Amino acid sequence: MATTETRGAIRIEDVVKIYDPDGAAVMAVDHCSLDIAAGEICMIVGPSGCGKTTLLNAIAGFHEITSGRITLDGEVLCSTDRPKSRPGSDRVVVFQNGALFPWKTNLDNVAFGPIMQGKLSKAEAREKALSMMADAGLNGVEHNYPGEVSSGVRRRIEIVRALMNDPKVLLLDEPYRALDSLTKSVMHEALLEIYYRNKVTIFFITHDLEEAIFLGHKVAIMTSRPCKPKKVLTVDIPHPRDYGVLTSKRFRELIEETNEAVHEEAVKAFQSGEKEG
Amino acid sequence: MAARKFDSKALAKGVFSILVFLVLWEIGSRSKQWIALDAFSWLRDMLEAFGFRSKYLPWIGAIPAPSAVLVAWKDVLFDAGYWHSWYMSGARVFGGFIAAMLVGIPFGLALAVSRTVHGIGFPVFELLRPIPPLAWVPASIIFWPTQELSIAFVTFLDAFYTVVINVVGGAKSIDVRFFQAAQSMGSSKADIFRRVILPGTLPSIVVGSAVGMGITWEVVVAAEMISGGGSQVGGTSGGGLGFFIWNSYVGGSYEQIVVGMISIGIAGYISSELLRHFGKYLTPWLRLR
């Protein structure tokens, strides 16, 4: 996969999102600006319900923004004038609870995107899907349905399905939230491995600070609703990383540096009684 | 759903429970004979105290015994008319059922997908739905040119309601993530309909059709009784199983009433089982969980 430096740079400029369901305007995102370089792993950390997903939905094109601008490689995705971007295969989402189609086999799930876009025939897409699944170590589950494999395997399949579209950006919405911590650690290394091979920009939402610092080049700690970056941290631990990083001195230092900020926001969110989401 | 394997223990339990049921029934039905014995005078006194004056167990003593039913069954087993009743009821059920699927599935999908169709169609649908199909019998006898068509229409109706309600419910309950995922992978509206809405609704269609099939049997029997047998093909035997029961009642053959009832039970069971297998074939991803 060819990667140029200009592929997948996201620029979030002064984005505001106000939900107005029944007259009571709720500000979910408050003048949020964030720069994500091409090929960077950017981790968005914040308490549940702080409005991180709102930001992701705006990039993906599922929801409108109220004002501001989001660009991808200089091209405007959405702005005050055109509040909703068109969902596209250059920005594929991996969902919190997984969205593999239960009625398709894992292989057909992975092959889905290129067939939809008319890029590959069904046979070609399947062939590519097989080889990508093999690369990701997903052998022997191709002809099973998603309901038959573990949730960890499902999540990996979903990431491969997203990568099949040759996206510029991978949008991950707390994909490992429901996994136990041991499975999580396996998933983290698997994700990094996939990343080193494909070098896409990753926009990764989580509320797990360790996960954020372990994976990210950049960690944006968000304020509780309304959401905007409270602190943006550059993680100076060199890639490629493996699980040894977790016990390194620098990793511990970075955790200490940021823990306070995250905790503050968590307390705020708890006190305001935001519901999960 | 667990994969169903042949389970001899479950089979033995099933056979045992049916046998116990038959034995109790036989004993109850023959109460006229054994309750007259001196040893059961206490039971007679007790029944009398409760106000029962007959010389057998209340209710069940008036029902023909399974052994008598079996004899009556044997008598009709080689009667072409009995099998013609099966055929007539079966044809009406499947005719009505298939018509309900053919009309109900597209209508339900249209209701679920299009706000316009929903706005125009749903109020009328909801207004007509509470009317029990049997209330339609007189009207449909008047409206439809042949009695056969009026029975078919009534049979169709309730299966139709059930299928539509299930399709709408199923389509509406598809997780929004599936639509978003399909969209972000470049699916067109037609693709989403074909590859998300259709397969996502299929389990509800299967459930709806199983329920619909059960209702169809209920309705067809009642409709046959009320309409007095429908088409006159093959004389009185053209009336189907419902009319078979009614005819037996009028003719005073109580054993045959029970034969007719059990026949409907068996027919309903066979149709549900056929449908279940077909449903599993259509939704393989549910079978394996």
- pLDDT for A2: 46
**Same domain assignment for residues B207 and B246:** yes
- pLDDT for B16: 95
A103 closest CB neighbour out of B182, B185, B285: B285
**Same domain assignment for residues A71 and A198:** yes
Helix ranges (H only) for chain A are 52-60, 106-116, 122-135, 151-163, 181-198, 209-215, 249-272
- pLDDT for B33: 84
A93's enclosing H/E stretch is strand A91-94
Contact B240, B92 (CB under 8 A): yes
Domain assignment present for residue A252? The answer is no
- Taking 90 as the threshold, does the pLDDT of residue B81 lie above it? no
β-strand partners of A19: A26
With contacts defined as CB-CB under 8 Å, which chain A residues touch B195?
A: 101, 112
A85 to chain B, any CB pair closer than 8 A? The answer is no
CB atoms closer than 10 angstroms to residue B261: 16
Mean of the pLDDT values across residues B177-184? 92
Residue indicated by tokens 């099939």: B213
Contact B283, B202 (CB under 8 A): yes
**Same domain assignment for residues B51 and B82:** no
Domain region containing A6: 1-90+167-244
CA-closest candidate to residue B112, choices B178, B190, B187, B165: B165
Tens digits of per-residue pLDDT, B41-78? 888 888 888 888 777 888 888 889 999 999 999 988 88
Strand order in the sheet with A218-222: A91-94, A169-173, A201-206, A41-45, A218-222, A229-234
**Chain B residues contacting A via beta carbons under 8 Å:** 175, 177-178, 180-188, 191, 195-196, 199-200, 202, 283-286, 288-289
A97 to chain B, any CB pair closer than 8 A? The answer is yes
CA-closest candidate to residue A66, choices A125, A118, A121, A19: A19
Inter-chain CB proximity A148 and B289 less than 8 Å: yes
Task: Indicate the pLDDT class of residue A205, thresholds 50, 70 and 90.
Answer: very high
Q: Please give, rounded to a whole number of angstroms, the shortest distance from the CA of A77 to a CA of chain B.
A: 14
Tens digits of per-residue pLDDT, B21-37? 999 999 989 888 888 88
- Taking 80 as the threshold, does the pLDDT of residue A242 lie above it? yes
Task: Indicate the pLDDT class of residue B111, thresholds 50, 70 and 90.
Answer: very high
Residue B154 in tokens: 């009534």
User: B191 — alpha (psi -120 to 50), left (phi > 0) or beta?
Assistant: alpha
**Same domain assignment for residues A77 and A16:** yes
A112 closest CB neighbour out of B185, B202, B284: B185
Q: Please give, rounded to a whole number of angstroms, the shortest distance from the CA of A99 to a CA of chain B.
A: 6
CB atoms closer than 10 angstroms to residue B58: 14
- The CATH number of the domain holding residue B98 is 1.10.3720.10
- Taking 90 as the threshold, does the pLDDT of residue A130 lie above it? yes
**Same domain assignment for residues B112 and B160:** yes
**Same domain assignment for residues B59 and B126:** no
- Taking 90 as the threshold, does the pLDDT of residue B252 lie above it? no
**Same domain assignment for residues B76 and B57:** no
**Same domain assignment for residues A78 and A6:** yes
- pLDDT for A1: 44
Domain assignment present for residue A200? The answer is yes
**Same domain assignment for residues A53 and A136:** no
* Count of structural domains, chain A: 2
A155 to chain B, any CB pair closer than 8 A? The answer is no
Domain stop point among A129, A144, A166: A166
**Same domain assignment for residues B70 and B57:** no
* Count of structural domains, chain B: 2
**Same domain assignment for residues B202 and B269:** yes
CA-closest candidate to residue A89, choices A31, A145, A168: A168
pTM: 0.81
**Same domain assignment for residues B238 and B219:** yes
**Same domain assignment for residues B180 and B213:** yes
Cis check: omega of the bond before A83, within 30 degrees of 0: no
**Same domain assignment for residues A54 and A185:** yes
Domain region containing B24: 1-63
Domain assignment present for residue A19? The answer is yes
Q: Please give, rounded to a whole number of angstroms, the shortest distance from the CA of B179 to a CA of chain A.
A: 9
**Same domain assignment for residues A139 and A3:** no
**Same domain assignment for residues A219 and A107:** no
**Same domain assignment for residues A133 and A201:** no
Nearest residue on chain A to B194, alpha-carbon basis: A116
The alpha carbon of B187 is separated from its chain's Cα centroid by a whole number of angstroms, namely: 40
CA distance B36 to B241: 37
**Same domain assignment for residues B108 and B219:** yes
Domain assignment present for residue A160? The answer is yes
Strand order in the sheet with A75-79: A26-36, A10-19, A67-72, A75-79
Residue A263 one-letter amino acid: H
Contact B104, B168 (CB under 8 A): no
Domain assignment present for residue A34? The answer is yes
Contact B239, B193 (CB under 8 A): no
